[in-house]
Amino acid sequence: MFELKVYRDRWRSADGSQLGLRAITPNDVEMLNQFFAKLSPLSRYQRFHCDRRILTDAQARYLSRVDAERHIAFMVCTLQAGQEHMVAEVRCVALGAQSWQAEYAIVVDDAWQRQGIGRRCMAHLMDAAHAYGFSELVGEVLASNMAMRQFLKAIAIDCAPSSGSASHSRLHLARLRGSRMDSVPGHPSNFTHPF
């Protein structure tokens, strides 16, 4: 079986902070709750497309119990005083038991945005999804979320108007390999040294 642990990645941010990417586990429920609670209202809305201030127990369990086949999820953490502090989350979930499509979601803590973390997360997610047999990732982005739309454009992912709502766009990742993600530092094909 393909192991998610091969995607562990460690690097230093521009300010020297130690960052690490790893798979989300059932032991991360409290960290997930703290992470989503400290996001700005706008970032939470852009992630969930609704005003979700806190996760219910059922939601937290769902987001932390990842089967690593039909549901793949990673987090990025800083290491401060010997403790992990979550600063980003990325995941994809299969759209049906036998589907070759998966819906993805990504969010980066407001204080850590525009530092390349989103690109690094997407590189790992796309590679893992490909390894598990997915050929397409799809997602919805609010039309007002220009930062996300610019991010997707920068990595050569097109946004198409949604058929269901004028305020949303739907992304189609027609090909997971061969995109600009392969050149991202920390991509599995460009693995960096641990700290």
Three state DSSP letters for 60-122: HHHHHCCCCCCEEEEEEEEEECCEEEEEEEEEEEECCCCCCEEEEEEEECHHHCCCCHHHHHH
Give the pLDDT of residue 195: 25
- Would you state the pLDDT for residue 49? 75
* Helix (H/G/I), strand (E/B), else coil: 171: strand
- Looking at domain 4-187, its CATH architecture is 3-Layer(aba) Sandwich (3.40)
Domain ranges of the chain: 4-187
pLDDT digit of tens for each residue in the chain (195 aa)? 445 554 479 898 888 888 999 999 999 999 999 999 999 998 888 888 777 777 888 988 899 998 877 899 999 999 777 788 999 999 999 998 778 888 899 999 999 999 999 999 988 998 888 888 888 888 777 777 778 877 777 766 666 665 544 334 444 544 544 444 454 555 544 433 222
